[in-house]
Amino acid sequence: MDIIYDFPQEENNERYYIALGNFDGVHIGHQELITTMVTDARNKNSKTLVLTFDPHPAKVLAPKGAPKLLVPPGVKADLISKLGVDMLALLPFDRNIARLTPREFIENVLIKYFRPLALYVGYNYTFGDKGEGTPEQLEDYGRVLGYEVKITPPVSINDMPISSTLIREHLSKGDIPFAKECLGRWPFVKGKVIPGNGLGRKLGFPTANMSLDNDIQMPSRGVYVGYTCVGGNNYHSIANVGVKPTVSPGQKPTMEVHLLNVERDLYGKTITFSFRDRIRGERKFNSLNELKSQIAGDAEHARRMAADYKKSTYFPGRI
């Protein structure tokens, strides 16, 4: 998949089937829209393009209320590429783009730079100044400008339309299985291992402290079971997300990972932790000995859960 990060400078005679949206998390609703586009385009021997913006529009228009992202732009690109798309346009979003009327966006962005044969959008897609553009407006202009529009209906779980907002809400509660159902994959975070205070090793449970992106939505504070991927290998692990109130009250939230049944030097490496389930919430303990005893119990609980994963198709032993 080719990726462009700005508006094309040269005239392009290629016409595309284009998916429009933010696609944060690339959840199963997004996947339905994009794979439908890819299938239709291949049947017509046409090229496909996903057009999205970075940063998230809310980060520019209302930064204090901007949502956390489910995945960073690079991971979003990786997930989209797996759907068979030919090109991703990850275009810069600024106030000049935000001020375009729906008609100006269609004519000065879509038609001018990408010459669509067909546009694919979700049922609640909006565009243009103040989000006034609707899928129905795209259809109206399409009849004049010569492109088709396909509007994807919502994909629902338990009668709830799947959205990035819904997934964030459930992650904030630590509901990993529900997030997995919506995403079509296990939620994960990726980061570089940075030095910590060494307390985990002193307690007999060495941990890898992950450098986290503050713009990424994390699950609620607590202890989680999952898998750590490093160097192409997956290791059954537990992770703590939180402020470590027993030893470091008042600090910023961090994430540290302990590999079960194996010890590896991970300093400086980039690792991925794939969440499987929440073991418990964050707690403050009265002493380090009490904390050590709880960590041992968490690790044993995680090992028992790992045995269940091996027997269950719902908890595959892979990321």
Are residue 149 and residue 81 in the same domain, yes or no? yes
**Does 109 share its domain with 26?**
yes
Residue 223's pLDDT is 96
Q: Say whether both 208 and 266 belong to one domain.
A: yes
Residue 169: inside a domain, yes or no?
A: no
pLDDT reported for residue 306: 72
Q: Is the pLDDT assigned to residue 244 strictly greater than 90?
A: no
In this prediction the pTM is 0.90
Residues 124 and 191 in one domain: no
Does any domain span residue 209? yes
Rounded Cα distance between 76 and 30, Å, is 11
Q: Are residues 107 and 223 in the same domain?
A: no
Q: Are residues 223 and 264 in the same domain?
A: yes
Q: Are residues 228 and 89 in the same domain?
A: no
Last residue of a domain, one of 156, 177, 209: 156
Q: Would the pLDDT of 12 be above 90? A: no
Same domain, 151 and 201: no
| 146 and 19 together in one domain | yes
Q: Output phi, psi for 127, to 5 deg.
A: -160, 170
Residue 127 belongs to some domain of the structure: yes
pLDDT at residue 238 is higher than 80? yes
- pLDDT value of residue 294: 87
> What is the tens place of the pLDDT at every residue in 250-290?
678 889 999 998 888 888 899 999 999 999 999 988 888 88
Cis status of the peptide bond prior to 55, with omega within 30 of 0: yes
Q: Pick the residue with more confidence: 248 or 141?
A: 141
Range of the domain at 118: 2-156
User: Each residue of 120-174: pLDDT tens digit?
Assistant: 999 999 999 999 999 999 999 999 999 999 999 999 999 999 999 999 999 999 9
The number of distinct structural domains making up the chain is 2
Which of 137, 156, 175 is the endpoint of a domain?
156
pLDDT over threshold 50, residue 314: no
Q: Give domain status of residue 316, yes or no.
A: no
Q: Is residue 166 part of a domain?
A: no
Long-range CB pairs of 37-45, under 8 A, 24+ apart, other chains included: 37/118, 37/120, 37/150, 38/83, 38/84, 38/85, 40/118, 40/150, 41/16, 41/17, 41/118, 44/17, 44/117
pLDDT value at 22 more than 50: yes
pLDDT of residue 135: 97
Which domain CATH number covers 254? 2.40.30.30
Q: What is the pLDDT of residues 185-234, one digit of tens each?
A: 999 999 999 887 777 777 777 888 998 888 999 999 999 999 999 988 89
202 and 144 part of one domain: no
Distance, in Å, from the CA atom of 219 to the CA atom of 60, rounded to the nearest integer, reads 25
Q: Are residues 149 and 7 in the same domain?
A: yes
Q: What is the mean pLDDT of residues 77-90?
A: 97
Specify if 297 maps to a domain: yes
* Mean pLDDT, the chain, integer: 90
Q: What are phi and psi of 187, to 5 degrees?
A: -65, 145
**172 belongs to a structural domain:** no
CATH number of the domain where residue 34 is located:
3.40.50.620
Give the H or E element holding residue 95: helix 95-98
Highest mean pLDDT among 95-104, 200-209, 257-266, 296-305: 95-104
DSSP state, 145?
A: H
Residue 316 above 50 pLDDT? no
Integer angstrom CA distances of residue 255 from 63, 242, 243, 285: 25, 7, 9, 18
- Co-location of 13 and 118 in the same domain: yes
The answer to the question of residue 319 being in a domain is no
